[in-house]
Amino acid sequence: MMTRNDDSNPSYDDRAALANAHRDAVFVSIHIASTGAVATARTYFYRFASSLPEVAGTDASAAPIPAAGGPVLWEEAQESYVEASKRFADILELELAQRFPGSAATPSPAAVRELRSVALPAVAVEISNIIATDARTWTTMAPPLATAIGRTVQAFRSAGAAGGD
């Protein structure tokens, strides 16, 4: 499901609310930049200041789910999914590095605002191409990006990392 498919600009909270209405899903926010290396891709997962030591680990357990019926602060919704988001980002960054030479081999933790209120495994992907002078250059990056995301979702689901069926 797309949260934005034109020049409209829904708020981060509106996007998070739409994503949070779906269970057993993942959230991928895609950004296009005109800076950075030519035809590279970078993956980010949300990092809370309180979770800095935990994020560095490689715990393979499923993401903790808040207690049934327990309140979750909107600005902390991602906190229960940081480990799952990192695992998703790890898989995605490897897929992207295979398709976009020069891309990083590991994702980066960052306080990406649109991820903070998402109560699902969530990542942001930034693709960049400093030599892009027309839309066709950007559209050539779409198929390998879509393939990388699709393969990542499949691998993530197969591993049961999202806590779904």
Q: 């229960």: which residue's tokens?
A: 80
Per-domain residue ranges of the chain: 12-158
Q: For residue 32, what are the CA distances in angstroms to 3, 36, 129?
A: 16, 11, 8
Q: pLDDT tens for residues 138-162?
A: 678 889 999 999 999 999 999 874 4
* Token pair belonging to 71: 């309140």
Burial environment of residue 102 by CB neighbours within 10 A (0 to 12, 13 to 18, 19 or more): exposed
pTM of the model: 0.78
DSSP string across 7-28:
S----HHHHHHHHHTSSS--EE
Q: pLDDT tens for residues 25-80?
A: 999 999 877 665 567 889 999 987 755 444 444 333 334 444 455 556 777 889 98
Query: With 50 as the cut, is the pLDDT of residue 16 above it?
Result: yes
CATH 3.40.630.40 fits 12-158, yes or no: yes
